[in-house]
Structure 1
Amino acid sequence: MQELGSANMNFEIAYPWVFFLLPLPFLMYWILPPLRVQKDAFKFAMFNRSVKVLDEAPRKSAWIAKRNIVQWASLWIAWSCLLAALSWPRLVAEPEMKVKTSRSFLVAADISFSMDTKDWKVDGKLISRWEATKKLMSDFIEKRKGDRLGLIFFGSNPYLQAPLTTDLETVEWLLDQTEVGMAGQVTNIGSAITYANKVLEKDTLDHKVLLLLTDGRDSEQDVAPMDAVKAIAEDSVKIYTMGIGDPTQKGSDLDEKTLKSIAEATNGKYFLAMDQDQMEKAYEVMNELEPMEFEEEEYRPEVPLYYYPLGLSLFLILIHQVFRGIFHLFFQKA
């Protein structure tokens, strides 16, 4: 049962045609023959003589059950209550709008060892790139309420952390449980895109978006990133890429050229996030590029009431059976 608070409720019967069955017991009353109940009989050779001696008139071995009006009335009321339950009575509120899923949004994030580099300053403290990314990614996920979201994490190999789902709280929780190094040491961008394509191609929604976050360069172990992009572009998947860290910093492996090429090949966009503020702005721009154009449908909150007439019907049938048993017991003793 759904709680509807102080919403205005109207009584409604879903299947009123069920009440056309109301006369059915009366038809059975007139059509079916009376019930004959067999009684125990005692037979012996001198039966007629014994009857004369005892001065008792012999009774028939069967009795015909009389059609008791009270019993029939109670059964008909029980039948009416049963039909009332089958008609599905309910209290219905005013129609409301329900948000439907608009797209599949898959996030593929790099969690190789380089993401553990502590070069991001947040609130005056140095934190790792992954901790900052995780925090802002959580805020971004929370705002995508019209989408089905999924998480892929990759390093040496990709793996699915959260399948495409509208349960954003679970996605955020799974994101929080992820730590650097869980998928290996190096960055395999090509395998991550190939794996993301396998996840998205099974999805039924037409609008599919992949967000790829990394701070490194492809390790060139398996599939080249651009070869993987050709395959995913055939399924009309748009890829947004985000480079993490400062590419001019000494020791940086960020391959901006490849990330820009990946985004351009799928009509996406590349973002550079050298700090928390830039990443936050990148997410804002992405929300503008991929607005949640909700598809909505009407639904009417309701409170079912069928169990009230159903309970009354069962109670009346139970009472009828109890009195019937008492009557038969009394008759057998008579």
Structure 2
Amino acid sequence: MHFEIAYKWVVFLLPLPLLIYWLMPAMRRRRAAMLVPFFKRAATVSHQRPKKSAWVTRRNFFAWIGLFLCWICLLAAASSPRYVGKPAKKTKTVRSFLIAADISFSMAETDWVMDGKRVSRWDAVKSIMKNFVKERKSDQIGLVMFGSNAYLQAPLTTDLSTISWLLDQTEVGMAGQMTSIGQAIAFGIKVFKEDTIKQKIMLLLTDGIDAGQDILPLDAAQAARKDSIIIYTLGIGQAKGSGGYDLDEKTLKDIASATNGKYFNAMNEGELKKVYAELDKMQPVEYEEESYKPVTLLYYYPLIAAALVGLVFHLISGTISLFRRSS
């Protein structure tokens, strides 16, 4: 860090009190006088010349020094002295990224294999998602978990370590056993409305079919499009065709298409990693940097000095006047 004066031009105000003293007329005050019939005779006897009932106040030498030092301290404060550190750059948040994850009972299926071990769909998704979140350093991330209903797990924030921790605390079934895709999208729209950043991305992750409660997924997608929200849909598992299936790919594709997003499908760990990699390419991490200098203001030191100087010289002047009167 180095010392710096912000307003160097303040030094030109140093002679201002002298200019005012020379150019402005002296302040005159009226003084009460007593008139007596023998005034002229008293003046003749005392050999003193009568004066007008006004005078120019004169200050002693110490008072002038005190006032000048106070003026210097005030100018020093007005010049804004400071310690300035080295210029640094701060990453600015440029995008809001909301993850809406399905944690209905179907996500407890242990049909995924990671590191040679069978794990549930949610554990696999959660593990890979944490790495994805970790890399979104310029985005603010939010979490919405849904099942029968949608719930806010984490508001939009740049604290990515907290997001990862909250993912660890989330378990299947916490939001109910059914899948309400329409509610999840509608809830995500509400979360975005509290946000001021224009770029709004939603990642909708599910392995099931919408339960058909309250809000239809496509109606919610149209509402999201009006709010300029892009939705990427991610299907976990594989559609079984006619006669019942695990995944409604058509609805997820329609949601993505309606909001200018894209549909992805993942049936195993490797494919899910590829999905996140492709998503990174489509929505790359963007950095907007703001330059700033760490500044420590020091103006209050000369202000304190001005107050102390004024107090000391006032006491000195008062003491001198007291001695003069006593003598």
Fold conserved (TM > 0.5)? yes
Q: 2-side partners of 1:326 and 1:275: how far apart?
A: 91
Asked whether the 8 Å contact 1:99–1:296 carries over to 2, the reply is: yes
CA deviation digits over 1:130-171, x for unaligned, max 9? Answer: 233223222212211222222211111112222223333333
In the alignment, structure 1 residue 185 sits paired with structure 2 residue 177: yes
The 3 A distance-change label for structure 1 pair 126 and 68 is: farther
Of residues 75, 81, 93, the one that matches 1:83 is: 75
Alignment of 1:1-334 (within 5 A): 9-26=1-18, 33=27, 67-93=59-85, 95-247=87-239, 253-323=246-316
CA deviation digits over 1:218-249, x for unaligned, max 9? Answer: 10011111111112112222111112235459
Aligned to 2:46: none
Q: 1-side partners of 2:284 and 2:13: how far apart?
A: 53
Greater alpha carbon shift after TM alignment, 232-241 vs 184-193: 232-241
The 3 A distance-change label for structure 1 pair 154 and 330 is: farther
Q: Give the TM-score of the pair, scaled to structure 2.
A: 0.77
Q: 1-side partners of 2:322 and 2:236: how far apart?
A: 88
Equivalences, count: 299
Q: 2-side partners of 1:324 and 1:216: how far apart?
A: 89
The 3 A distance-change label for structure 1 pair 325 and 236 is: same
Aligned to 1:6: none
RMSD (Å) for aligned C-alpha atoms: 3.3
The 3 A distance-change label for structure 1 pair 185 and 86 is: farther
Q: 1-side partners of 2:109 and 2:307: how far apart?
A: 70
* CA apart distance, 1:198: 2.5
Greater alpha carbon shift after TM alignment, 225-234 vs 69-78: 69-78
**SS of the counterpart of 1:219?**
coil
Asked whether the 8 Å contact 1:120–1:127 carries over to 2, the reply is: yes
CA deviation digits over 1:107-144, x for unaligned, max 9? Answer: 11112222233333333333332233223222212211
Aligned to 1:49: none
* CA apart distance, 1:187: 0.9
Q: 2-side partners of 1:159 and 1:120: how far apart?
A: 26
Aligned to 2:48: none
- What amino acid sits opposite 1:175 in the alignment? L
Q: Identity percentage over the alignment?
A: 55
**SS of the counterpart of 1:78?**
helix
Unmatched segments (≥5 aa) in structure 1 = 1-8, 37-63
**SS of the counterpart of 1:220?**
coil
Q: 1-side partners of 2:88 and 2:191: how far apart?
A: 33
* CA apart distance, 1:87: 1.9
Unmatched segments (≥5 aa) in structure 2 = 31-55
